Amino acid sequence: MSELKKLSPFDWIMVGFILHALGGMFFDTSKALCYLLCGVGLIIIFYNVVFEIQFQRPFSGVMLVIFILFLLWTAIILIRPFVSRETFSSDGYSLINRYTWLSFITPLIVFLGFGQVTLSSVFKFTFVQGIIGIILLVLNYKQIFQANEDIDVEDYQTYIGVIYIPLQYLFASSFMILCSEFISVRYRVMAYFTMFTCVFLALYSARRGNLFMYLLIVLFAFILNIAASKGASKLLKLGIVALVITFAALLFNVYAGSTFALFLARLEEDTRTGVEEYFYYSFQGESLDWLIGRGLNGTYYCPIFDMSSVNRGMIETGYLHLILKGGILYLGLFSFLVLHSAYLGFFRSNNILTKGMAFYLVAHIIFLLPFGLPAFNFEYVVLWICVFYCQSKEFRMCSNTEIKLHLAYN
């Protein structure tokens, strides 16, 4: 009980996110447990936001204006179904689905400020995500490691749902490889283990988009580590990386016909173009829709998946999903906020940590191509935390030593 009293409001908000995510896993198997966990999670989050948090101004100058415009446009997206003449649907206001209205309010996390969103708490809950991911991987071991190249389309879609259960937590934990210089050994081990596991699972389950995302983070972590190294240390790291790549290539070649057979079978399969073509067809000649989107409940014609419901409210290509809901205006504002923060983190900072955060921000912009949907989850929270840390001149001007001292006392 004494440990619970030590949790800060931000810690409790993260607990709420974890409970909400865990609840979503039970949507198909136990509606009661799903609603209970999601409900408790949301109550914890909103209670702490309303009654425990002291809001702080996250930006200044032009960036504050841009962010206010972003929030105003977000508000229009959220209320549009109420004020427009379109047929109202409650789908966009689900308390369970993490890709609906809840994802649009997640950027409000930036108003918590540095005093309440400490890096030590972020790393702590990133580590917790890894533990949860490992536990879920063990619990779902039999269902996950049953895929083969002969699996049919319907069974494969079900299989994807199973494998994403641990993957979402494992990938959230692997964020720490971009901050490896500033975390403890156990956190570092967890980060690299979870990333290795993500890459392996993506290969095994033939999730090409996910594999691209994971390898991109690995590449950025490698660049960051090499850039921060000098002399013999840099050569040693380059040698280790060369050996790891060689070993991984040999291992893949040995198991290509068995463990990774499904990946090779689906390597050239195109499952996205048809959906995107229907999206473009649905928007053909709709200049206003391209500009402002179709609102929270916006849909597009796509009869590929379910002929009983040919209008889909989500598209897996991230940047198209943002256009569907808020148009090019929303996509532009979102991209500007993230990329400007990344620019400051790269080129206007004195420490490696903000450069790691900048890499994370750039990665998420690139993720909008294969998937990268904004979501009400820990991963998207970390993105916005990286935004306001990179926007802080005070934090960017800190040296690596000063940040390590700060983490040691928090």
| pLDDT, tens digit, 9 for 90 and up, residues 25-65 | 999 889 999 999 999 999 999 999 999 988 888 898 999 99
Output the pLDDT for position 221: 93
Q: Residue 308: pLDDT band by 50, 70, 90 thresholds? A: low
User: Each residue of 73-96: pLDDT tens digit?
Assistant: 999 999 988 887 666 567 789 999
Output the pLDDT for position 2: 56
Select from 16, 38, 53 the last residue of a domain.
53
Segments forming the whole domain that contains residue 3? 1-53
Q: Is the sign of the CA dihedral 332, 337, 340, 346 positive or negative?
A: negative
Output the pLDDT for position 235: 78
Percent of the chain at pLDDT > 90 equals: 64
> Do 78 and 92 sit in the same domain of this protein?
yes
Mean pLDDT of 235-254: 84
Residue 335: pLDDT over 80: yes
Output the pLDDT for position 4: 65
The answer to whether 18 touches 10, Cβ cutoff 8 Å, is no
- When mean pLDDT is compared over 122-131, 244-253, 370-379, the highest value belongs to 122-131
Residue 1: pLDDT over 60: no
Select from 271, 298, 323 the last residue of a domain.
271
Residue 108: pLDDT over 80: yes
Work out the mean pLDDT of the chain and round it to a whole number.
Answer: 90
> Do 129 and 206 sit in the same domain of this protein?
yes
Q: Residue 200: pLDDT band by 50, 70, 90 thresholds? A: very high
Q: Is the sign of the CA dihedral 401, 402, 405, 407 positive or negative?
A: negative
Output the pLDDT for position 306: 66
Q: Is the sign of the CA dihedral 217, 324, 39, 44 positive or negative?
A: positive
Spatial distance between the Cα atoms of 313 and 335, rounded to a whole number of angstroms: 22
- pTM here is 0.93
Residue 244: pLDDT over 90: no
Select from 223, 248, 271 the last residue of a domain.
271
Mean pLDDT of 162-176: 92
Query: Between 241 and 159, whose confidence is greater?
Result: 159
Spatial distance between the Cα atoms of 281 and 113, rounded to a whole number of angstroms: 43
> Do 159 and 104 sit in the same domain of this protein?
no
Percent of the chain at pLDDT > 70 equals: 96
Closest to 92 (Cα-Cα) out of 334, 384, 312, 364: 312
Output the pLDDT for position 109: 94
> Do 286 and 409 sit in the same domain of this protein?
yes
> Do 290 and 395 sit in the same domain of this protein?
yes
> Do 127 and 265 sit in the same domain of this protein?
yes
Output the pLDDT for position 136: 96
Residue 189: pLDDT over 80: yes
Q: Residue 359: pLDDT band by 50, 70, 90 thresholds? A: very high
Mean pLDDT of 258-265: 86
Q: How many CB atoms lie within 10 A of CB 232?
A: 8
Determine which of 30-39, 116-125, 149-158 has the lowest per-residue pLDDT on average.
149-158
Determine which of 182-186, 306-310, 365-369 has the lowest per-residue pLDDT on average.
306-310
Residue 98: pLDDT over 70: yes
User: Each residue of 205-226: pLDDT tens digit?
Assistant: 989 889 999 999 999 999 998 8
Direct distance between the N- and C-terminal alpha carbons of the chain, in angstroms, rounded to an integer: 21
To the nearest 5 percent, what fractions of the chain are helix, strand and coil?
70, 0, 25
Output the pLDDT for position 253: 86
The answer to whether 224 touches 356, Cβ cutoff 8 Å, is yes
> Do 190 and 263 sit in the same domain of this protein?
yes
> Do 6 and 142 sit in the same domain of this protein?
no
> Do 320 and 400 sit in the same domain of this protein?
yes
Output the pLDDT for position 353: 95
User: Each residue of 3-28: pLDDT tens digit?
Assistant: 666 789 999 999 999 999 999 999 98
> Do 322 and 410 sit in the same domain of this protein?
yes
- Which amino acid, 133? G
Output the pLDDT for position 406: 81
Mean pLDDT of 306-325: 87
Residue 186: pLDDT over 80: yes
> Do 257 and 136 sit in the same domain of this protein?
yes
What total number of domains does the chain contain? 3
> Do 282 and 157 sit in the same domain of this protein?
no
